[in-house]
Amino acid sequence: MRIFTAALATETNTFSPICIDRRAFEDSLYAPPGTHPQTPTLCTAPITVGRRAAAEKGWTLIEGTAAWADPAGLVNRETYEGLRDEILDQLRAAMPVDAVVLGLHGAMVAAGYIDPEGDLLTRIREIIGPDVLLCAELDPHSHLTAKRVAAADFFVVFKEFPHTDFVARAEDLWRIAVDTLEGRVKPVMSVFDCRMIDVFPTSREPMRSFVDRLTAIEAEDEDVLSLSVIHGFMAGDVPELGTKMIAVTNAKPEKGERLARKLGLELFSLRGTFMMPQIDEKEAVNRALTAPRGPVVIADMWDNPGGGTAGDSTVILEELLLRGATDVAVGMIWDPIAVQLCMAAGEGAEIPLRFGAKSAPGTGNPIDGLVEVVRVVPNAEMRFGESVAPFGDAAHIRHKGIDIVLSSVRVQSYDPSLFTALGIDPQSKRILVIKSTNHFYAAFSKIASEILYCSAGSPYPNDPATNPYRRARRDIWPMTADPHCVEVA
């Protein structure tokens, strides 16, 4: 057997001004054929898992390019077309193949391409013909367009959010692909449109139990090869926005449709109950200041560079300054210009500085003031689980009793080590302000006396009912109260 694999992935927040060019892919991950490292980067797991799967069978794995850019705004047209054509040329050169197994994200939008993954999959199908297996792993924060469903045989989607299972799902993808190639199964994909858009953290109920049920059904029902939820991605203004339920069965399309519909309507009946409770910056600062002990962690949950925002909002910091709060550390605010100025000034210098809130509307105002440059660290990094997350050259500044970490690479606040890297002891602080929606929880919950989820300003389009969509469909909840026009318990 000859199998072609490649990866092309990013998550496009179409409201973000941080646009993506080829350099952004190269900064995150760009691996030409055969150069992909041993460890996967989220959406590239089908390549590393594929090496193992092909080796076990003695099959030939032909690796194409793997490219991943951290979430941001629109992808530059030439960048998308260049990476796409690179992969398509590699596939043409690899023909004939028995299967194509891809790592995609599924929420890319490029200039001139509202559905780049649909475009890529369709072009691949044209090259390989109707009978060669074509499958991909997807991130649930994606758009399941009709074009993609028509082009691919099946998709497997991460079940967990935070995405702790991207390797396990790539293993599912390959297991089904191998079983198909060896004639044991015939995967058929059934999709149900839940007609909703929501956010579904699996670290809490009710999504935790729902995902556990999907796993149990997969284990118990031999007709069911895989069950997935496409959560949808509300910051992507695309026509086919929304939550979808996928059932991949062993040649049982009617059963798959029934199951996808049943599970999808169940998800719909729970709409609006998935997210953690959120408070605004005034309430968050109030509660943090009156807490019996620290550190209280305030998560600036929507200014999360992991969702494509700039990560330079100052709304919570402005409120803290207004209240005269001290004994506070803020990590991080993205401001490469300010970092450069601090590095030029040197440690110990006191300088007038403008920092933050420079890149996007709805993120507060730049802070102007005299600051002390406490520490500068070239190529700073923090821990993220087993690996490290670099945040570029960084500066620790002190302003009116508040310690602030400025970074020059946009990355969400995964771990308290972002503070220690700049000489700040996070546990000695009364309040910690961080930028992350959900990924921070595992590490920060270990040191936090309390965690407050704060919705501050409007850095991210987090309310689909009022987001200024131009292309997204309106016939889904919450834009439409009852889009199924049925009584759903």
Residues that bind Zn ion (CB under 5 A): 139, 141
Q: Are the C-beta atoms of residues 91 and 97 closer than 8 Å to each other?
A: yes
104 or 402: CB nearest Zn ion: 104
Helices 281-289 and 315-322 meet at what angle, rounded to 10? 50
What residue number has its CB nearest to Zn ion? 141
Q: In DSSP terms, which residues pair with 300 in a beta bridge?
A: 454
9 or 224: CB nearest Zn ion: 9
Q: Are the C-beta atoms of residues 22 and 82 closer than 8 Å to each other?
A: yes
At closest approach, how far in Å is the CB of 109 from Zn ion?
Answer: 15
At closest approach, how far in Å is the CB of 231 from Zn ion?
Answer: 8
At closest approach, how far in Å is the CB of 75 from Zn ion?
Answer: 17
240 or 281: CB nearest Zn ion: 240
Residue with tokens 């790592």: 103
What is the rounded CA–CA span in Å between residue 347 and residue 27? Answer: 28
Q: Is 297 helix (H, G, I), strand (E, B) or coil?
A: strand
Q: Using DSSP bridges, classify how beta strands 387-399 and 367-384 pair: parallel, antiparallel or unpaired.
A: antiparallel
Nearest of 98, 100, 120, 117 to residue 109 by alpha carbon: 117
Question: Would you state the structure tokens that stand for residue 132, as one six-digit string?
Answer: 């060669």
What is the rounded CA–CA span in Å between residue 223 and residue 85? Answer: 37
At closest approach, how far in Å is the CB of 206 from Zn ion?
Answer: 19
202 or 313: CB nearest Zn ion: 202
187 or 236: CB nearest Zn ion: 236
Q: What is the largest CA-CA distance in the chain?
A: 71
Using left for φ > 0, alpha for ψ between -120 and 50, and beta otherwise, residue 123 falls in alpha
Question: Would you state the structure tokens that stand for residue 160, as one six-digit string?
Answer: 């967990």
At closest approach, how far in Å is the CB of 470 from Zn ion?
Answer: 23
139 or 415: CB nearest Zn ion: 139
141 or 435: CB nearest Zn ion: 141
What is the rounded CA–CA span in Å between residue 436 and residue 452? Answer: 12
What is the rounded CA–CA span in Å between residue 371 and residue 339? Answer: 12
194 or 421: CB nearest Zn ion: 194
159 or 195: CB nearest Zn ion: 159
At closest approach, how far in Å is the CB of 236 from Zn ion?
Answer: 11
Q: Are the C-beta atoms of residues 73 and 19 closer than 8 Å to each other?
A: yes
104 or 443: CB nearest Zn ion: 104
Sheet holding 431-434, edge to edge: 350-355, 367-384, 387-399, 402-407, 328-334, 431-434, 296-300, 450-454
DSSP 461: -
141 or 195: CB nearest Zn ion: 141
Nearest of 329, 334, 330 to residue 308 by alpha carbon: 334
What is the rounded CA–CA span in Å between residue 221 and residue 96? Answer: 35
At closest approach, how far in Å is the CB of 158 from Zn ion?
Answer: 7
Taking the mean position of all CA atoms in its chain, how far away is CA 300? 16
At closest approach, how far in Å is the CB of 71 from Zn ion?
Answer: 8
At closest approach, how far in Å is the CB of 416 from Zn ion?
Answer: 23
Question: Would you state the structure tokens that stand for residue 229, as one six-digit string?
Answer: 């939820």
What is the rounded CA–CA span in Å between residue 456 and residue 145? Answer: 32
What is the rounded CA–CA span in Å between residue 145 and residue 133? Answer: 19
At closest approach, how far in Å is the CB of 270 from Zn ion?
Answer: 20
Residue with tokens 């972002």: 418
What is the rounded CA–CA span in Å between residue 12 and residue 29? Answer: 16
At closest approach, how far in Å is the CB of 108 from Zn ion?
Answer: 12
What is the rounded CA–CA span in Å between residue 86 and residue 70? Answer: 20
At closest approach, how far in Å is the CB of 454 from Zn ion?
Answer: 21
295 or 308: CB nearest Zn ion: 308
